[in-house]
Structure 1
Amino acid sequence: MKKSLLIFLFLLTIVVLAACGGSDEEAGGDNGGGEGSSQPDDKLAELQESGTVTVGFANEEPYGYQGDDGELKGAAVDIAKAVFAELGVDDMDSQLQDYSQLIPGLNAGQYDVVTSGMAITPERCENAIFAEPEMVYGEGLVVQAGNPLGIESYEDIAENPDVRVSVMSGTTEIGYLETMGVSEDQITNAPDIPATFSAIQADRADVTTATEMTLRLAMETSDESQLEFVENFEQPDIEGVPSWGAPAFHPDNTDLRDAYNEALQDLKEDGTVEELLEANGFDPDSNSVAAGEITAESVCNGENY
Structure 2
Amino acid sequence: MKKLLVASILCLTIAFLAACGSEEESKLAKLQEEGKVTIGFANEKPYAYEEDGELKGAAVDIATAVFAELGVEEVESELLEFGQLISGLNAGQFDVITAGMAIKPDRCENAAFGEPEMMYGEGLIVQTGNPLNLESYEDIANNPDVVVAVMQGATENDFLKESGVDPSQILSVPDIPASIAAVQSGRAHATTGTEMTIKDALASAGTDELEFVETFEQPDVEGVPSYGAAAFNLEDEELLEAYNEVLAELKADGTVAELLEKNGFSEQMNMVPDEITTEKVCSGEI
| TM-score above 0.5 | yes
CA distance in 2, matches of 1:25, 1:250: 26
User: Shift of the alpha carbon at 1:220?
Assistant: 1.4
Aligned to 2:284: 302
Secondary structure of the corresponding residue to residue 205 of structure 2: coil
Aligned to 1:194: 177
| Cα RMSD after superposing both structures | 1.8
CA 1:29/1:51 → structure 2, altered by over 3 Å: closer, same or farther? closer
Are the aligned partners of 1:53 and 1:93 in contact in 2 as well (CA < 8 Å)? yes
Q: Which runs of 4+ in 1 moved over 3 A?
A: 22-31
CA distance in 1, matches of 2:188, 2:206: 16
Aligned partner (choices 29, 32, 46) of residue 30 of structure 2? 46
User: Shift of the alpha carbon at 1:284?
Assistant: 1.0
User: Shift of the alpha carbon at 1:29?
Assistant: 7.0
Aligned AA (1:89): V
User: Shift of the alpha carbon at 1:24?
Assistant: 11
Q: 2:43 aligned with 1:59, yes or no?
A: yes
Aligned to 1:245: 228
Aligned partner (choices 276, 279, 282) of residue 265 of structure 2? 282
CA distance in 2, matches of 1:95, 1:111: 7
Percentage of pairs with the same residue: 60
Q: 2:18 aligned with 1:27, yes or no?
A: yes
CA distance in 1, matches of 2:278, 2:74: 26
Aligned to 1:115: 98
Matches within 5 A, 1:131-150: 131-150=114-133
Aligned AA (1:39): E
Report which stretch shifted further, 220-229 or 112-121.
220-229
Are the aligned partners of 2:111 and 2:232 in contact in 1 as well (CA < 8 Å)? yes
Aligned to 2:275: 293
Are the aligned partners of 2:180 and 2:202 in contact in 1 as well (CA < 8 Å)? no
CA distance in 1, matches of 2:205, 2:85: 27
CA 1:25/1:121 → structure 2, altered by over 3 Å: closer, same or farther? farther
Q: 2:187 aligned with 1:204, yes or no?
A: yes
CA distance in 2, matches of 1:91, 1:157: 45
Secondary structure of the corresponding residue to residue 167 of structure 1: strand
